[in-house]
């Protein structure tokens, strides 16, 4: 049987990257989807799901606005009659400006989307799952930038550290409800957010340097993150709760070093 047969799932940030890859992966495993994104590309993702034989409803929403999160949860219940999985994946990078360069307004916007947004999904999707009485799985996209410094700008990193803690606190506060909450911490992944980095590397013919700081010596593709999200969404992860899972090629397994045991110099 498919891993998500009979399941209803919400995915935000579904217009591209990890969200789109997860939509296609979840649908292939039998899930009925409600997809959200701020851009019109979410409709393209929904059509891709339908073209592959799946079921998807698309909404243009702002994942950091409570009314929009309430709307996507309500749409899932009204369209498919239930809600089993919510993947709060939407986020923004905010650039790489230093700690002294960002304005309070810029910090607020990054925290609104990246941290308040996932909390809103926990609040409303979690309540819907508890009301349904069957439990469920909530997945939050954090980042290796939330584990330690060096993988993102200050506001982005702080927001993702908050997401990791949010998963832990939420799992505890929903004890005995059957609702699990976990976070995924991607390393460098080729998505819409990181497109400028990859475009620059291809233009300068230095793609071989992208991702060289992790032991696998490469960046991730969105499908590799979607596979982990699928696991957490499925009943195969029935005893995984309150965790932050790094999917980063091993980047976060070490403190900075200048030379590996193989004698290759890291860049």
Residue extents of the structural domains in the chain: 8-189+221-249
DSSP state of 15: T
CATH for 8-189+221-249 is 3.40.50.720
d(CA 22, CA 226): 4
Q: Which of 13, 7, 237 is nearest to 141 (CA)?
A: 13
What does pTM read for this prediction? 0.91
Q: Identify the helix (H) or strand (E) that includes residue 44.
A: helix 41-51
If one counts every other C-beta atom within 10 angstroms of the C-beta of residue 30, the result is 16
Tell me what pLDDT residue 179 has.
98
Question: Maximum Cα–Cα distance for the chain, whole Å?
Answer: 58
- Do 27 and 49 contact (CB within 8 A), yes or no? yes
Tell me what pLDDT residue 206 has.
64
Beta bridge partners of residue 183, listed in sequence order: 140, 244
Residue 153: both structure tokens together: 């700008």
Tell me what pLDDT residue 151 has.
84
Active site residue 156: yes
Of 80, 156, 200, 239, the catalytic one is 156
10-residue stretch averages of pLDDT, the chain, 267 residues long: 94 97 98 98 98 98 98 98 98 87 95 98 98 97 94 94 98 97 92 66 66 83 97 98 96 72 52
């Amino acid at each position: 049987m498919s891993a998500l047969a009979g399941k209803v799932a919400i995915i935000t940030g579904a217009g591209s990257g990890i969200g789109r890859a997860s939509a296609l992966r979840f649908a292939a495993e039998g899930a009925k989807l409600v997809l959200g994104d701020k851009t019109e590309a979410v409709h393209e993702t929904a059509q891709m799901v339908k073209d592959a034989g799946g079921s998807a409803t698309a909404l243009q929403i702002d994942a950091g606005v409570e009314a929009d999160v309430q709307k996507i949860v309500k749409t899932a219940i009204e369209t498919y009659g239930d809600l089993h999985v919510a993947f709060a994946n939407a986020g923004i990078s905010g650039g790489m400006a230093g700690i002294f360069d960002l304005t309070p307004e810029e910090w607020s916007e990054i925290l609104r989307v990246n941290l308040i947004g996932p909390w809103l999904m926990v609040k409303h999707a979690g309540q819907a799952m508890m009301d349904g009485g069957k439990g469920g799985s909530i997945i939050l996209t954090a980042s290796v930038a939330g584990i330690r410094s060096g993988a993102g700008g200050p506001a982005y990193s702080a927001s993702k550290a908050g997401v990791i803690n949010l998963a832990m606190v939420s799992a505890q506060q929903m004890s005995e409800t059957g609702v699990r909450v976990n976070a995924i911490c991607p390393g460098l992944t080729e998505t819409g957010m990181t497109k400028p980095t990859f475009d620059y590397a291809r233009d300068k013919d230095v793609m071989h340097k992208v991702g060289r700081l992790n032991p696998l010596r490469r960046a991730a593709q969105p499908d590799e993150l979607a596979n982990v999200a699928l696991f957490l969404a499925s009943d195969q992860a029935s005893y995984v709760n309150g965790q932050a899972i790094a999917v980063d090629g091993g980047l976060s397994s070490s403190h900075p070093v200048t030379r590996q045991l193989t004698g290759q110099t890291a860049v």
